[in-house]
Structure formats: structure tokens, C-alpha cells
């Protein structure tokens, strides 16, 4: 397989991931919120500052990663993007200072996320492959989703 095909597959995987991560949840939220009272929305519905901060970190990553899929890489742009993502990860870790199981789950996810960013940084700077980025991001997202369910359960 030549490099062009690999790059095309990476782009396709990133697009599929973006649809799965952002479009489908948005559509479910829109469909699920139809007819609900504003009281239910105001109650938080299974969300917490900790989970919300993790979501912001993930949204920042997903919203800017596409600029760094194909070489040549803008290393200054990457450094700024990486710094922003790391700041959001730190915000999530700070917001998750509680002792609940949900906070521990998000902290674990953010630790994995920090490792993913580190590996991507190494790949971009060395010209190597970031590896299984999509699968790792999915695992991180699953942990955050599990934390969201724990919040709903009061844990």
C-alpha cells in the first residue's frame, strides 16, 4: 500500500470518528430533548463539572486534529494546538478533584488522553505514525461516557 492510500484511509477514519463523536451525539441530544421541560435540562441530566471539562478537552482535540493528519506539519500550529489541548486536559483533571468514582474514571481517561497527545506529538515531530489514534480516542471517550453514567447513578 502506498503512502497516498494510507493518508486517504487516515482521513476517512478521522471523518468517521468525527461523525461518531460529534454528529451522532448531537443528533441524539436534539431528538432526546424535544418536548422535555427546561427543568430537566437545568438539573444537569447526568453531567458534572468534571465530565463537562473532559468533554471540552475531547471537543478541542477533535475540532483541531484534522489540521495535523497530513504532512507537512505546521509545527508552530501543532505546538499551539497541543498546548491548548493539554490545558483542557489539566482543567478536567483539576475539576475532577472529588472522591467519587466518576471523578476517578475521568482522571484515568485524562491520563490516557495525555499519553495519546504525547504519542501524537512524537509522531508529528519524528515523521512517524501515531498508531491506533482512533481506537485510543474511542477508549478514552468510553471512559468519559462511563463516568457520565456514574454521575447519573450518584457515584
Kindly give, in sequence order, each residue whose CB lies less than 8 Å from that of residue 93, ignoring residues fewer than 6 positions away.
107, 110
pLDDT at 31: 57
Q: What is the pLDDT of residue 135?
A: 92
* CA proximity to 150, closest of 47, 49, 53: 47
- The pLDDT, as a whole number, for residue 35 is 38
pLDDT range class, residue 5, cuts 50, 70, 90: confident
Query: Residue ranges per domain, the chain?
Result: 3-152
Average pLDDT, the chain: 82
Per-residue pLDDT tens digits for 63-94: 988 888 777 888 999 999 999 999 999 999 99
Asked if residue 103 has pLDDT above 50, the reply is yes
Helices 49-64, 133-152: crossing angle, 10 deg rounding: 160
Cell of residue 98, nine digits: 472529588
Q: Give the tens place of pLDDT for each residue, 31-62.
A: 544 433 333 333 344 578 999 999 999 999 98
Residues of the chain above pLDDT 70, percent: 82
How far apart, in whole angstroms, are the C-alpha atoms of residue 14 and residue 19? Answer: 9
Is there a cis peptide before residue 72, judged by omega within 30 degrees of 0? yes
**CB of 116 closer than 8 Å to CB of 143:** no
List the one residue out of 119, 146, 140 whose CA is nearest residue 58.
140
Indicate if the pLDDT at residue 3 is higher than 60: yes
Q: Would you place residue 19 in the very low, low, confident or very high pLDDT band (cuts 50, 70, 90)?
A: confident
Q: Can you tell me the distance from the alpha carbon of 40 to that of 84, in angstroms, rounded to the nearest whole number?
A: 32
Amino acid at each position: 500500500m502506498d503512502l497516498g492510500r494510507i493518508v486517504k484511509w487516515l482521513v476517512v477514519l478521522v471523518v468517521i470518528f468525527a461523525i461518531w463523536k460529534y454528529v451522532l451525539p448531537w443528533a441524539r441530544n436534539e431528538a432526546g430533548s424535544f418536548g422535555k421541560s427546561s427543568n430537566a435540562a437545568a438539573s444537569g441530566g447526568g453531567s458534572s463539572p468534571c465530565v463537562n471539562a473532559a468533554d471540552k478537552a475531547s471537543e478541542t482535540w477533535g475540532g483541531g486534529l484534522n489540521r495535523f493528519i497530513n504532512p507537512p506539519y505546521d509545527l508552530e500550529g501543532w505546538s499551539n494546538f497541543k498546548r491548548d489541548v493539554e490545558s483542557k486536559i489539566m482543567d478536567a483533571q483539576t475539576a475532577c478533584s472529588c472522591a467519587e468514582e466518576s471523578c476517578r474514571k475521568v482522571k484515568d481517561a485524562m491520563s490516557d488522553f495525555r499519553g495519546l497527545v504525547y504519542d501524537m506529538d512524537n509522531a508529528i515531530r519524528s515523521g512517524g505514525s501515531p498508531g491506533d489514534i482512533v481506537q485510543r480516542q474511542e477508549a478514552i471517550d468510553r471512559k468519559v461516557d462511563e463516568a457520565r453514567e456514574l454521575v447519573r447513578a450518584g457515584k
